[in-house]
Amino acid sequence: MDNLPQGDLLQAALRRGRPKLPSYTVAVVESFDAPSNMRRVVLSLPQGSGFDYLPGQAVVMMIPTGEGEFGRRDYTIRTMDRQAGTISVDILKHGETPGPRWALSARPGDRIDIRGPRGRTVFQKDADWHLFTGDETCIPAIAHIAETMPSDAKAFIFLEVEGSDYEVPLESAADLEVRWLHRRGEPAGPSNLMASAIADFSLPAGRGQAYLIGETSNVRRQRHDLIARGLTREQILSEGYWRPGRIGGHDHVDD
């Protein structure tokens, strides 16, 4: 097992069950606005931390919630610069909530505790085609998986954003078909937008793998639709990243 490449070791650990999450105190290097209404925060890992992850995985950040208290918020690792010993996260500025508030106020040298990496929404190499769906909170995961996918992979990507100004270029060596869905002023959250796009998506021949992330009820609807159309549970990785009224955390969507 120890002779496996690092990525395969991480995949094997994921298959074995919920890994114990290591924790790190990291320092803000810089923060700046990023496309799709995000704030990117670059974080410096402790020297020799040995931190590693698979594209699509997240860290749990202990975000200040006021009066000396902290709350857990999951943010996807958008980039890692191994040379510099940094990772970055893109935090959606969706409102006056602790995550974006912290991202907007983060200054170089600020320290924050993180745990991770965590998450099973990572590239599954044994599929003939891949289907990714999500909203803005999923752009970091989907963009990072896309840019690290092998050139012989075929992927269909559906991303929901407010409008065309919020689209971002997706880099990949793989063959990507990307479709942007626009809310056009409708609030983010439970809606028919992604569910109808996926209902209209004709499943290609061969073994498919779906990665459904985003608002929990939207993820659940797509999952049920794909199962009704013949995908097995093993062919669908799905996770609720947020939902109206929920504070931090994530929802398992495995029914």
Q: Which of 10, 92, 114, 212 binds ligand FAD (CB under 6 A)?
A: 92
Nearer to ligand FAD, 228 or 252 (CB): 252
Task: Determine the interface stretch with ligand FAD among 40-48, 73-81, 163-171, 198-206 (rule: CB under 6 A).
Answer: 73-81
Q: Looking at beta carbons only, is 172 or 191 nearer to ligand FAD?
A: 191
190 binds ligand FAD (CB under 6 A): no
What binding mask, one character per residue, do residues 206-245 give for ligand FAD by CB under 6 A, x or -? -----------------------------------xx-xx
Backbone φ and ψ for 77, nearest 5 degrees, come out as -75, 110
Residues found in the chain: 255
Site for ligand FAD in 123-162 (CB under 6 A): 137, 140
Q: Residue 63 and residue 217: Cα distance in Å, rounded?
A: 25
**In the set 100, 117, 134, 208, which binds ligand FAD (CB under 6 A)?**
100
Q: Are 142 and 157 in contact (CB under 8 A)?
A: yes
DSSP 116-164: EEE-S----TT-SEEEEEE-GGGHHHHHHHHHTS-TT-EEEEEEEESSG
CB proximity list for 24: less than 8 A, separation 6 or greater: 45, 46, 49, 51, 113, 114, 115
Residue labelled with tokens 């479709």: 179
Residue 248 engages ligand FAD in binding (rule: CB under 6 A): yes
The values of phi and psi at residue 8, to 5°, are -70, -35
What sections of 36-136 are H helices per DSSP?
98-105
Q: Is 250 in the site for ligand FAD (CB under 6 A)?
A: yes
Q: Which string of x and - marks every residue 32-71 that binds ligand FAD (by CB under 6 A)?
A: --------------------------x-------------
Question: Of 85, 94, 115, 127, which one interacts with ligand FAD (CB under 6 A)?
Answer: 94
Q: How far, in Å, CA of 220 to CA of 216, rounded?
A: 6
The helix/strand/coil state of 164 is helix
Q: For residues 245 and 37, give the distance between their C-alpha atoms in angstroms, rounded to a whole number.
A: 21
| Selected range binding ligand FAD among 97-105, 159-167, 202-210, 217-225, rule: CB under 6 A | 97-105
Task: Choose the stretch contacting ligand FAD; rule: CB under 6 A; options: 12-20, 23-31, 89-97, 177-185.
Answer: 89-97
Q: Are 122 and 202 in contact (CB under 8 A)?
A: no
Give the binding site for ligand FAD (CB under 6 A).
58, 73-76, 89-92, 94-95, 97-100, 119, 137, 140, 188, 241-242, 244-248, 250
